[in-house]
Amino acid sequence: MKVLVVQPDLRAYRLPFFNALGECPGMSLTVLHSGEDIPGTSFSQIVSPKKRIGPLNLQMGALDFARGFDRVVIGLDMHWWNSIMAPIVLDNSEERLVYWGHGMGRSTIANLLRRRAIGRARAMIFYSDCGRRLAESEGWPKSKLFVAPNTMWVTNSEDMSMSHKRYLLYVGRIQDRKRIDLLIEAYFHLSTEMKEKYSLVIVGSGDSRYALERDVVDRGLKSVVFINGTTDDFALKKLFEKAAAYVSPGHVGLGVLHAFSYGVPVVTCESDNHAPEFNFLKNKVNSLICVPSVTALSNSLNTLLCDSDFYSRLGKNAFSTYLKEAHPSLMLKGFTSALL
């Protein structure tokens, strides 16, 4: 079976999944994207230039390339011209076209386009079971709905919940929506004794980093450390090993599963803007979820750090969640089921 997956770019965290998919017996995988060609993969690549047309993005020639494949997988994103046009342009789309993504969004018009597109496609692969259930409740045909948990393929995953913990950790892009400012403010309000025992390590880069570093200096927080971002699994494992928790007060996504893959619980705040990976969080079971305020977050961090048995138990449950609900094998199984 010849399979084409259309992606905006080829991100590092996707490579292990596409390599595994490309190694499936009887499957010849090609990934079309608009990023840099990456050597040494088990799948073929087509690099297609990207063009902006009004509010939409277009990957030049993508649907022309798609004509030669048995299955064509495209993200269900109405910001991309190919997503909208695929069921119209592709011959026999009811047998060949597979959509992949979150599912419904907040725009009524975009959701109308999504429903029409799915109606002319073979299947829809959701990032989470929550998205599948919502689609099912709205009357989408069950036979078309599949789930491939959108997870991190961590090469050195290990339950490190019982290792000695020395700090709170944030890893990811430093953006305003992550609310690292709230984390620093909450950490500032912890007792001096607590800050001496547990430092705060912030790993990543972004437009907000300089302002946050200045804030840390102004507050005299010598126990807050900034480290440049990395995608190296060995370096990340060493960072997570000593982390009592992964803390991202604002938007959380794949970072949840990266932390869980190392047996590290997550601390975040309630929000309507989290990615679907938020649904893996179970408050006081594998994570702590509080209201988005300095006081609430500071109290949650204090509760966590005052009891090493508590954060170890949350971490152990986090690793169990990764294995049972978000393991890479589940993603591969859900994805291939929609193609066969």
Which residues 6+ apart lie within 8 Å of 112 measured at CB? none
Under a CB-based contact definition with an 8 Å cutoff, are residues 148 and 125 in contact?
yes
Distance linking the first and last C-alpha atoms of the chain: 9
Structure tokens at 29: 């995988």
- Per-residue pLDDT at 207: 87
Q: How far apart are CA 222 and CA 105, in angstroms?
A: 42
Q: How far is CA 234 from CA 156, 157, 205, 315, in A?
A: 8, 10, 19, 19
Mean pLDDT of 310-328: 96
- Residue spans of the domains in the chain: they are 2-147, 167-325
- Per-residue pLDDT at 104: 79
Residue 191 has pLDDT above 80, yes or no: yes
Q: How far is CA 113 from CA 6, 145, 216, in A?
A: 19, 17, 46
- Per-residue pLDDT at 117: 87
Q: How far apart are CA 63 and CA 11, in angstroms?
A: 21
- Per-residue pLDDT at 128: 87
| CATH, domain range 2-147 | 3.40.50.2000
Can 2-147 and 167-325 be said to share one CATH topology? yes
Of residues 273 and 100, the one with the higher pLDDT is 100
Structure tokens at 1: 């079976």
**DSSP secondary structure string, 87-148?**
HHHSTTHHHHEEEEE----S-HHHHHHHHHHHHTSSEEEESSHHHHHHHHHTT--GGGEEE-
Mean pLDDT of 315-323: 97
- Per-residue pLDDT at 131: 86
Under a CB-based contact definition with an 8 Å cutoff, are residues 21 and 336 in contact?
yes
Report the top-level CATH class of 167-325: alpha beta
pLDDT in tens, 166-182: 999 999 999 999 999 99
- Per-residue pLDDT at 262: 98
Structure tokens at 185: 């403010």
- Per-residue pLDDT at 309: 97
Under a CB-based contact definition with an 8 Å cutoff, are residues 133 and 156 in contact?
no
- Per-residue pLDDT at 106: 75
Under a CB-based contact definition with an 8 Å cutoff, are residues 314 and 265 in contact?
yes
Residue 105 has pLDDT above 80, yes or no: no
**DSSP secondary structure string, 187-218?**
HHTS-HHHHHHSEEEEE---TTHHHHHHHHHH
- Per-residue pLDDT at 284: 97
Query: 27: closest CA among 338, 312, 329, 307?
Result: 338
- The pLDDT confidence band at residue 1, using thresholds 50, 70 and 90, is very high
Mean pLDDT of 247-270: 96
Residue 54 has pLDDT above 90, yes or no: no
- Per-residue pLDDT at 296: 98
What is the pTM assigned to this prediction? 0.85
* HEC secondary structure over 38-68: CCCCCCEEEECCEEEECCEEEECCHHHHHCC
DSSP 278: G
